[in-house]
């Protein structure tokens, strides 16, 4: 990877919030693809608001092996770059998930729900 293209500040991180045609909200690190009608999503998270008006992030496509998911632009109602506070929280959750991954995990301790408040 060309190191000159690696984001060095929160302002440079291409993290966007998407509102989809089906009503879902997703936050994700984005990649421009060669296809102008699609966008690449890395570590997409579903965004929901709970009864206490707090946002909850959970993996949008859990159990997949692809690193970048392709989203067709026709499924997007709107998108927006998120503020730096939200970028920092999103990145902290993503990095915590990566660091928490245990290659020698005990199958009896599999969690059934993985949400973040």
| pLDDT tens per residue across all 117 residues of the chain | 556 678 888 999 999 999 999 999 999 999 999 999 999 999 999 999 989 988 899 999 988 889 999 999 999 999 999 999 999 999 999 988 766 655 554 545 555 555 555
* Residue 113 in domain: no
Residue 108 resides in a domain: no
Q: What is the CATH number of the domain that holds 19?
A: 2.30.30.100
Does the residue 75 lie in any domain? yes
Is 112 part of any domain? no
* HEC assignment per residue over the chain: CCHHHCCCCHHHCCEEEEEECCCCEEEEEEEECCCCCEEEEEEEEEEEECCCCCEEEEECCCCCCCCEEEEEHHHEEEEEECCHHHHHHHHHHHHHHHHHCCCCCCHHHCCCCCCEC
Work out how many domains the chain is built from and give that number: 1
pTM over 0.85: no
Q: Provide CB contacts within 8 A for 42, sequence distance 6+.
A: 28, 29, 30, 31, 67, 68, 69
Is residue 26 assigned to a domain?
yes
Q: Which residue range(s) make up the domain with 41?
A: 3-100
- Report yes or no on 35 lying in a domain: yes
């Amino acid at each position: 990877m060309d190191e000159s293209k690696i984001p060095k500040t929160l302002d440079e991180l291409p993290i966007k919030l998407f509102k989809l045609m089906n009503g879902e909200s997703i936050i994700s690190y984005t990649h421009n693809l060669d296809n102008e009608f699609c966008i690449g999503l890395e570590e997409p998270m579903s965004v929901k608001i709970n009864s206490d008006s707090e946002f909850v992030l959970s993996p949008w496509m859990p159990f997949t092996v692809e690193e970048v998911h392709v989203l067709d632009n026709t499924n997007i109602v709107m998108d927006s770059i998120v503020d730096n506070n939200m970028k920092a929280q999103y990145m902290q959750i993503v990095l915590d998930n990566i660091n928490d991954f245990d290659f020698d995990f005990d199958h009896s301790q599999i969690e059934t729900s993985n949400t973040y408040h």
